[in-house]
Structure 1
Amino acid sequence: MDTNYRKAIPIEKRVAITLFALGSSAEYRSIANMFGVGKSTVCEILLEFCTEIWRLLQPSCFKMLPLNRENITELVTGFEVIGFPQCLGAIDGCHIEIHPSSDEGVDYYNYKGWYSTVLMALVDAKYRFTYINVGSPGRCNDSQIYETSSVKKEIDSCPLLSEMSREISGVNVPVFIIGDSAFRFSKQLMKPYPFSVNQNNGEKVFNYALSKTSRVVENAFGHFKARFRRIGKGIDNSVRNANSIIKACCVLHNFLNDNNDTLNAKWLRALEELETRRQNPCDISYASDDPINGEMIRTALCTYF
C-alpha cells in the first residue's frame, strides 16, 4: 500500500518483474537493478505472482480431472487426428535442476549426478498439460511416481474408459494412455515392445507409431523450458518455492498454447545447447508389467497399424 515514505509498486510493474524473471535466466540481483527494486522484493513478488496465478488459472487450465465423457472425447479425438486411436494422453517425467539443502541433497540427487525435482505430466495432442505432478525428488523413477499419483487412481477407477471402448482388429479396446518403457505395462497404459534383434515387422511398426505419438510430451517439455528459461536453466529458489514456480509456469504454458502464442526459434536453439551439456537422467523401470490384461490390446493395435 502507499505510505508517507514511498508509493506501492504498481501491479503492472509486479507482473513485468515476474514475467521477466520467469522468461530469463538472469540473477535476481540483476533483475532488481533493472527494475529499481531490492533483490528480496523481486523474490517476494515472484512467489506472490506464482501463488495467485495458480489459484486463479488452475481450474480453467487443468480440466481433465475428474474424467467425464466430454473431456475424454475431446482428448481421444485429438490423438486420432495424429493417427493413434483410443489414446487419452502421453505421460512422461521431466527433471528440473534445483539446489536443495545439504539435509535434502541425497533424495534429490539423480542418476546423472545432479540435483533435480521431477515434473510428471500427462499431455494432449496440442502440447497442453492435462495433469501435472510436481515435487517428487530426482532419485524417484517415473513409474514409481505414476503408481502413487491421483491420475492413476482416476484412470483405474473410471468406468467411462471401458464404456467408450472401440472395436479394433476384433478386440474391444478401452481408452488408455501411452508412455515409454519406464512405465508398468497394463491395459490402461500402453508402452513399446521390448527391443529385440529379431523383432517382427508388426512390433516395429507399433513401436514407431507409439514413439511418434508420444513425442507430444517431449515437445511440450521442450516448449515449456524454452518459454521459461528459469526452468530450463535451473531454479535457485528453495525446494518448497521451486514447486510453486513450476506449477505457475505449467499454467502459463497452457494459457499461452490456448491463445496460440508463438515460440521464438532462438529460445529452442538455446535450450538444445543447454540440454546437450546436461544429459537427461536414465529411466530405470522397477515396476513389473501386467501383460495378461494389456497384451491383447497391444496386439490388436499392432495389427491395426
Structure 2
Amino acid sequence: MLTTVPLCKEINPRSIWAYKRHGNFWEKNAPSMNDRVFKETFRMSRATFEILCEYVKGITKQDSCYRKCIPLQKRVAVAVYTLKSSAEYETVARLFGVSKAIVSEIFLAFCQEVWQSLHPIYLTEQLRNSEKVDECVHGFEKLGFRQCLGAIDGCHIKVRPPGKDCTDYYNNKGWYSTVLFALVDYRYRFLYINVGCLGRCNDSKNFQCSKLNTALKDPIFTAKSKTINGVNVLAGVMGDSAFRFANNLMKPYLFQVHLPEHEKIFNYQLSKCRRVVENPFGHLKARFRRIGKGVDNHIKNVPLIIKAACTLHNFLNCHNNVINHKWIEEQTTYESSVRLEQPEHTDAVGDFEAEPETIRRAIANSFCKFVLHLLRSRRKSCKLIA
C-alpha cells in the first residue's frame, strides 16, 4: 500500500553564511569629505576620481543570487587607497568592510584594467608620432636645451624577491630593488617606461637593451635634425654620466676642477633640464606610497603595479591634479630615515668619440653665444636706465 507524504506548506529559504564586517569608511565617511580631504585620502580630486571610474568599468561585477556585488566606485576606492598607502591588505579590508582576499583581488584587477584601458591614451610610445616629437623638442627649447626629445634615467624601487632570486635584485647600495627605466618629457609625463629589470643591472645596460634605444634610430629623428654652429644635430635624449655617450644621447662633461667656460655652461643647462626625469620619480613615489615605501606584493605582480602607477601619474598630470608638496617632503624624510639611496653607476664608453663630442661642443658653444647675447642686452638696458 502506497503512502503519501504531505507537502510542506512553507519551504525554508536557503541560508547563506556571511561574516559580518563593520567597516563603512566609503559609505559614511567619504561622502562627507570636502575636496581637500578627499584628495588627501585618495590622491586625486573627486571629479578626477569619477572620470577614472568611467575608464575602469571593466572591473565591475554583477549581483549574484545570494548577495549584492561591491559597487564600482567602492572597488576603485579600495584599489586607489591600497596604492596610495603602504598599509597591509588586512588594514584596508577592515577600513572598507571587506575581506583581505577581496582587497587583493580588486587591487590587481584594477591595475590590470588601468594598464589596458588608460595606457593607450595616457602612456603610449609616441616616439614615431611626428607632432609629439615636435612638441617635446619645442618644450625643451623653452627649458633651455636644444634638440632634446626627453630625459632618461632609472629609478630603483624596493621589492621583496623570493630567496632563490634575491641575489639578482640586490643593488650596490645594499637593498633589494627592481628598476623603473623611463623617458620623460618636458611636462613630467612618462613617454616610455621599461619595468622589471633586476636591481643589480645598471642604467646604461637597461637603455642599451630597451626598445627605446632601437626607436631612437628611426628615420623620423634624422628628419628632425637641425644645424647648430655648422653641425648636424639629431633630435635625441639627455642622460647623466651613467649612460653611454652617443650622437643621440647627450651627457655632461666629466667633472674637473677647472672646466672651460663652455663646458660649465653646458653641464649647468643639462643638469637644469634633466630634472624633468627626477621629479616624476619623486612624484610617483610620494603620491603612491606603496611604490615609495616598497612594493611588498609577489614579485611577479610588481611590474604590473608599477606600470599602473606610471599610467595613473600621466592621467593625473593631464587632468591637472597637482601634487601636494607635503607628500614629497614625507617621502624624502622616509628615504633618508631608512637610507634608500639610489644606486649610482658611470659608463665612460664612448666619452671621447669624435662625432658625439662634435655635437656636444656645438650645443655648448650655442649656449655660450646665448649667454653673451643676454649679458650684452642687460648691459645696454643698464646704460639706458643710467
Q: TM-score, normalised by structure 2?
A: 0.77
1:70: which partner in 2?
Answer: 131
Report deviation, 1:287: 6.4
Q: Which has the higher contact order (CA 8 A, sep 6+)?
A: 1
Deviation at 1:61, TM superposition (A): 1.3
Tell me the equivalent position of 1:251.
311
Find out whether 1:98 has 2:159 as its counterpart.
yes
Q: Which amino acid aligns with 1:71?
A: K
Q: State the SS of the aligned residue for 1:117.
A: strand
1:298 equivalent in alignment to 2:353: no
Moved over 6 A (4+): none
Q: What secondary structure, in the 3-state scheme, does the structure 1 residue paired with 2:274 have?
A: helix
Find the aligned partners of 1:170 and 1:101 in 2 and give their Cα distance. Answer: 55
CA deviation profile, 1:207-241 (whole Å, cap 9, x unmatched): 01000000010011111111111100111101111
Partners in 1 of 2:288 and 2:188 — Cα distance? 15
Say how many residue pairs are matched.
304
Matched, 1:227 2:287: yes
User: Conserved in 2, the CA contact under 8 Å of 1:119 and 1:135?
Assistant: yes
How far apart, CA to CA, are the structure 2 residues paired with 1:63 and 1:141?
Answer: 24
Q: Does 1:40 align with 2:101?
A: yes
Instruction: Tell me what 2:42 maps to.
Output: none
Give the residue type in structure 1 aligned to 2:213: K
> For 1:259 and 1:136, how far apart are their aligned partners in 2?
30
Counterpart Cα distance in 2 of 1:42 and 1:164: 48
Measured on the aligned residues, the alpha-carbon RMSD in Å equals 1.3
Residue 281 of structure 1, CA deviation: 3.1
Q: In the alignment, is the contact (CA less than 8 A) between 2:253 and 2:267 conserved in 1?
A: yes
Identity across matched positions, percent:
52
User: How far apart in 1 are the matches of 2:266 and 2:334?
Assistant: 32
Residue 286 to residue 171, structure 1, CA distance change in 2 (3 Å):
closer
Unaligned runs of 5+ in 1: none
- SS class of match (2:164): coil
Deviates more, 1:211-220 or 1:262-271: 262-271
Displacement of 1:66: 4.6
CA deviation after TM superposition for structure 1 residue 279, in Å: 3.5
Q: C-alpha distance in 2, partners of 1:286/1:104? A: 26
Among 143, 146, 152, the residue aligned to 1:85: 146
Q: Select 1:25's aligned residue among 75, 78, 86.
A: 86
Q: Take 1:18 and 1:187, find their aligned partners in 2: how far apart are those partners?
A: 43
Give how far 1:40 is off.
Answer: 1.4
Is the 8 Å Cα contact of residues 155 and 342 (structure 2) preserved in structure 1?
no
CA distance in 2, matches of 1:83, 1:39: 50
Note if 1:241 corresponds to 2:301.
yes
In structure 1, distance between residues paired with 2:104 and 2:317? 26
> Residue type of the partner of 1:215?
R
The DSSP-based 3-state class of the residue aligned with 2:237 is strand
Cα deviation 1:112-149 (Å, max 9, x = unaligned): 11111000010000000000000001110000000000
Query: Residue type of the partner of 1:17?
Result: V
